[in-house]
Amino acid sequence: MVDLSTPPPQQPTSTTTQDGTISTLHPDILQTHILTLLDGPTLAATACASSELYALSTEDKLWRNICTSSWPSINDPTVSSIISTFSSGHRSFFSDSYPLLHHHHHSSSFLTTSTEYLVSAVDIYYKDVAIFSKVEKNETLTDWFKCSPFRVDLLEPKEFVQTLIQYQTGEKDSFVKQLEENMTLSWILIDPKRRRAMNLSSGRPVSVQRHWLTGEVVVKFAAIMAGDGGEKEFVECGVMVCCGEKEGGEMEVREISMGMEDMEGRNLTGKESLVVLQEAMERGERRKGKCGTEGKGRYEEFVERKRERKARKQKMEKVLDMVCIVTGIAIFVSSWSFILFR
């Protein structure tokens, strides 16, 4: 990820136009007709070309337009006010939120801080068109949050999101593949106190399955991050999107939820989750994934680790059971031998 925290040193730029260097262009032309056409990574790279381009490319208006076009949910006034407190405004927010999160190592020296609430800015896309956007605020200081399983639900039990996507009930494999290829999700978690954010989504689905009983399609996104050891060596932050069919044959979204599990499949409490999330947000590396498949690859590695861990645990339990049985038989035989031959 390109670092935009400090401007590049003064040096001549090799970028030229037909009449000379790019610096001969009026700044208004660059900002209005050229820089506004760039996406986030390209704009970040452009800022490193020269001090003049750095000054033009770090304007908050440019980054605000990029952020709001990428994530419509951040137009919410609550999110906008939080982003304004970031060190470099929307540029810092984009740097935190755009790349995939990579957090593989837990540090015992990391100190968590109490935060009053966390904010989730969520956007779901189908073929790059937003079909759902919402901002959710979750209190973190209550005893209920600290002791209960960590879970964020964006829809009420009987609330549905209508779409224009045709739900294909007869072609099961085709529709599952269609969602796997075309649905993407962004779940940006924001800590207002730390003035940091991170994207908890894998971008593309890590699994898409049709429920055997209801026929609903469950699309799963996930981010894998380091825990604090033991059964929490690695932690899965999973987002579930449940889709069903409404009258007329169109797809509707019936559930959008996020939760965290350890390697034993146990749901983390709010207190446990906050420790993992704050460290990942502060120390996690952000880098762009490879063709949208890296998140799925890391999820599959996590599932394999869980399978191996479960197999080792079952093997150990069988050994302990055998030891207990042998010990019991030995005690039984010894007792009767003592009674019969004394």
Where would I find the H helices in the chain? Answer: 27-29, 40-47, 51-57, 60-70, 77-83, 90-97, 143-147, 172-182, 270-283, 294-341
The answer to whether residues 28 and 128 belong to one domain is: no
Cβ neighbours, 10 Å, residue 122: 24
Residues 261 and 142 in one domain: yes
Task: Look at residues 148, 126, 273 and name the one whose alpha carbon lies nearest to residue 200.
Answer: 273
Q: Are the CB atoms for 74 and 68 separated by under 8 Å?
A: yes
Position 109 scores a pLDDT of 60
Q: Are 233 and 266 in contact (CB under 8 A)?
A: no
7 part of a folded domain: no
* Partners of 285 in the β-ladder: 102
- Closest by alpha carbon to 198, among 275, 310, 121, 85? 121
pLDDT score for 13: 41
What span, in angstroms and rounded, lies between the C-alpha atoms of 142 and 122?
A: 23
d(CA 195, CA 189): 11
Are residue 164 and residue 268 in the same domain, yes or no? yes
Query: Is there a contact between 177 and 259 (Cβ–Cβ < 8 Å)?
Result: no
Residues 53 and 131 in one domain: no
300 Rama class: left (phi>0) / alpha (psi -120 to 50) / beta: alpha
Q: Please tell me whether residues 89 and 113 are part of one structural domain.
A: no
Tell me, yes or no, whether 185 and 212 share the same domain: yes
**Residue ranges for the chain with pLDDT beneath 70:** 1-23, 106-111, 168-172, 229-232, 289-292, 342
* 157 shares its domain with 245: yes
pLDDT of the residue at 14: 39
Report the CATH number that the domain containing residue 64 is assigned in CATH.
1.20.1280
The answer on 269 and 286 residing in a single domain is: yes
Within a domain: 11: no
The tokens describing 86, both together, are 């970031």
> Are residue 231 and residue 133 in the same domain, yes or no?
yes
The single-letter code of the amino acid at 83 is: I
Co-location of 35 and 114 in the same domain: no
Print the domain residue range for 57. 16-93
Inter-axis angle of helices 60-70 and 90-97, nearest 10: 40
Q: What is the pLDDT of residue 170?
A: 59
User: For the chain, how many helices (H) and strands (E)?
Assistant: 10, 14
In a domain, 122, yes or no: yes
The residue from 44, 68, 93 where one domain ends is 93
What six digits make up the tokens of 75? Answer: 């137009």
Residue 324 lies in a domain: no
What's the domain count of the chain?
Answer: 2
Check whether residue 84 and residue 159 sit in a common domain: no
Q: How far is CA 113 from the centre of its chain?
A: 21
Q: 181 and 67 in one domain?
A: no
Residue 61, in any domain of the structure: yes
Is residue 153 in a domain? yes
Spatial contact of 82 and 189, defined as CB atoms under 8 Å apart = no
**Residue where a domain stops, chosen among 73, 93, 113:** 93
Residue type, 270: G
SS3 218: strand
Q: What is the pLDDT of residue 290?
A: 58
Of 64, 93, 122, which closes a domain?
93
Paired with 38 in beta bridges are none
Is residue 5 one of the residues assigned to a domain? Answer: no
Is 25 part of any domain? yes
